[in-house]
Amino acid sequence: MLTEETKALILKNVCIYTETEIHSNGYVVVKEGKIDAIGLMDSFLEKEWENAHILDFPKGMNLIPGFIDIHIHGANNADAMDASQQALEIMAETLPKEGTTSFLATTMTQEVESIENALTSIAQYVETADQSGKAEIIGIHLEGPFISEKRVGAQPVQSVKKPNVELFKKWQTLSNNQIKLVTMAPEEDENFELVRYLKAENIVPSIGHSDAVYEQVLSSIQAGVNHVTHLFNGMRGLHHRDPGVAGAALLHSELMAEMIVDGVHIHPEIVKLAFLQKGADHIILITDSMRAKWLEDGISSLGGQKVIVRDGKALLENGALAGSTLKMKDAINNMMNFTGCSLQDVVKMASYNPAKQIGVLDKKGSIAKGKDADLVVLDENNQVALTICKGKIVYSNGGFSA
Q: How far is CA 106 from CA 73, 291, 339, in A?
A: 5, 12, 28
- Given a contact cutoff of 8 angstroms between Cβ atoms, the answer to whether 175 and 140 are in contact is yes
Q: How far is CA 131 from CA 114, 231, 293, 388, in A?
A: 24, 31, 21, 13
Q: How many residues does the chain have?
A: 402
Q: Is 212 annotated as a binding residue?
A: no
User: What is the C-alpha separation between 43 and 29, in angstroms, rounded?
Assistant: 13
Tell me phi and psi for residue 100, to 5 degrees: -85, 125
Q: Is 239 annotated as a binding residue?
A: no
The number of angstroms, rounded, from the C-alpha of 402 to the middle of its chain's C-alpha atoms is 28
User: What is the C-alpha separation between 137 and 375, in angstroms, rounded?
Assistant: 16
User: What is the C-alpha separation between 114 and 20, in angstroms, rounded?
Assistant: 43
Q: Is 240 annotated as a binding residue?
A: no
Residue 44, helix vs strand vs coil: coil
Q: Is 233 annotated as a binding residue?
A: yes
Strand partners, 315: 308, 321
- Given a contact cutoff of 8 angstroms between Cβ atoms, the answer to whether 390 and 132 are in contact is yes
User: What is the C-alpha separation between 51 and 339, in angstroms, rounded?
Assistant: 44
Q: Is 209 annotated as a binding residue?
A: yes
Sign of CA dihedral 53, 57, 61, 62: positive
Q: What amino acid occupies position 293?
A: K
The single residue of 211, 262, 288, 374 carrying the catalytic annotation is 288
Q: How far is CA 139 from CA 17, 42, 51, 193, 276, in A?
A: 26, 40, 37, 23, 31
Q: What amino acid occupies position 63?
A: L
288 is catalytic: yes
C-alpha closest to that of 279 among 229, 209, 353: 353
User: What is the C-alpha separation between 246 and 261, in angstroms, rounded?
Assistant: 16
Q: Is 208 annotated as a binding residue?
A: no
Q: Is 141 annotated as a binding residue?
A: no
Q: Is 230 annotated as a binding residue?
A: yes
Q: Is 185 annotated as a binding residue?
A: no
Tell me phi and psi for residue 148, to 5 degrees: -90, 135
User: What is the C-alpha separation between 77 and 80, in angstroms, rounded?
Assistant: 11
Q: Is 331 annotated as a binding residue?
A: no
Those residues with Cβ within 8 angstroms of residue 219's Cβ, 6 or more apart along the chain or in another chain: 186, 192
Q: Is 241 annotated as a binding residue?
A: yes
Catalytic residues: 288
Binding residues for Zn(2+): 143, 209, 230
Binding residues: 143, 154, 209, 230, 233-234, 241, 265, 321-323
Binding residues for substrate: 154, 233-234, 241, 265, 321-323
